[in-house]
Amino acid sequence: MNQQHSGCFECCIKCLGGIPYASLIATILLYAGVALFCGCGHEALSGTVNILQTYFEMARTAGDTLDVFTMIDIFKYVIYGIAAAFFVYGILLMVEGFFTTGAIKDLYGDFKITTCGRCVSAWFIMLTYLFMLAWLGVTAFTSLPVYMYFNLWTICRNTTLVEGANLCLDLRQFGIVTIGEEKKICTVSENFLRMCESAELNMTFHLFIVALAGAGAAVIAMVHYLMVLSANWAYVKDACRMQKYEDIKSKEEQELHDIHSTRSKERLNAYT
């Protein structure tokens, strides 16, 4: 019974020791960041549509005209694609981490470092670097609606602090509508007061902030992955060199053994 418990304990320790914890932490951070960005970003875009339609009295343009509502729909589809793509990519990086760290080494015996394996590691490093740059762009782009809503939130706050202040917000200055359209809302209007008092504005603002934080977390996860992949690449490179050294050493020992055996046989024949 004690031997069985000892065997199970050793097996558990061996399994836990084979887990690539660095890749696991990076994957959890990536999934958390992508989930925050996609979930909160999607809901924030939906809230933006409601605010534009309710308080700015904007309507969807008929036909195939590319207006702000069409752009928001496109952003939503992009969010769906990002969520699916990085869910798969996180799994692939975890699998690569398991193979590189030798977590399945004891199951399949001593594995050989092939040229294909080295190319796969190098490919993941390049791809992760490109994704890191892409997430930096996404983070910068996500800061734009945060800035817009911060301005709107500031106008609402100044209206309550300063009596008689007449402040206006024109959507043309943010490029949301064309120059020919005048979609302006001022503090003296009833729509502006209702918008500032609504919970929808505050919720949408904070959702964009959380989405920005999620994009930042994804950037950190990509940087973490780059460090892990670079370390794994160095490990694979050293393992490949060690493997070549062991093969050469084994071959030389075999040649020496064959030479020694041949000489022993020659001496024995000469003696007899």
pLDDT tens track of the chain, all 272 residues?
555 556 666 666 666 666 778 888 999 999 999 999 999 999 999 999 998 888 887 777 776 667 788 889 999 999 999 999 999 999 998 888 777 765 445 444 444 555 566 777 788 899 999 999 999 999 999 999 999 899 888 888 777 655 666 777 777 777 777 766 767 777 777 888 888 888 888 999 999 999 999 999 999 999 999 998 888 777 766 666 666 666 677 777 777 766 767 766 666 666 66
Residue with token string 């989405």: 211
Q: Is residue 249 one of the residues assigned to a domain?
A: no
Q: Is residue 68 one of the residues assigned to a domain?
A: yes
CA 11 to chain centroid = 32
CA distance 221 to 93: 12
Q: Is residue 16 one of the residues assigned to a domain?
A: no
Q: Is residue 202 one of the residues assigned to a domain?
A: yes
Q: Is residue 261 one of the residues assigned to a domain?
A: no
| Long-range contacts at 154-159 (CB < 8 A, ≥ 24 apart) | 155/187, 156/192, 156/195, 156/196, 156/201, 159/187, 159/192, 159/196
> Which pTM was predicted?
0.78
Task: Please give the pLDDT value at position 31.
Answer: 95
Domain that holds residue 160: 23-243
Task: Please give the pLDDT value at position 232.
Answer: 76
Task: Please give the pLDDT value at position 106.
Answer: 44
Total structural domains in the chain? 1
Closest CA to 85 of 145, 22, 138: 138
Q: Is residue 263 one of the residues assigned to a domain?
A: no
Q: Is residue 44 one of the residues assigned to a domain?
A: yes
Q: Is residue 34 one of the residues assigned to a domain?
A: yes
CA distance 251 to 259: 12
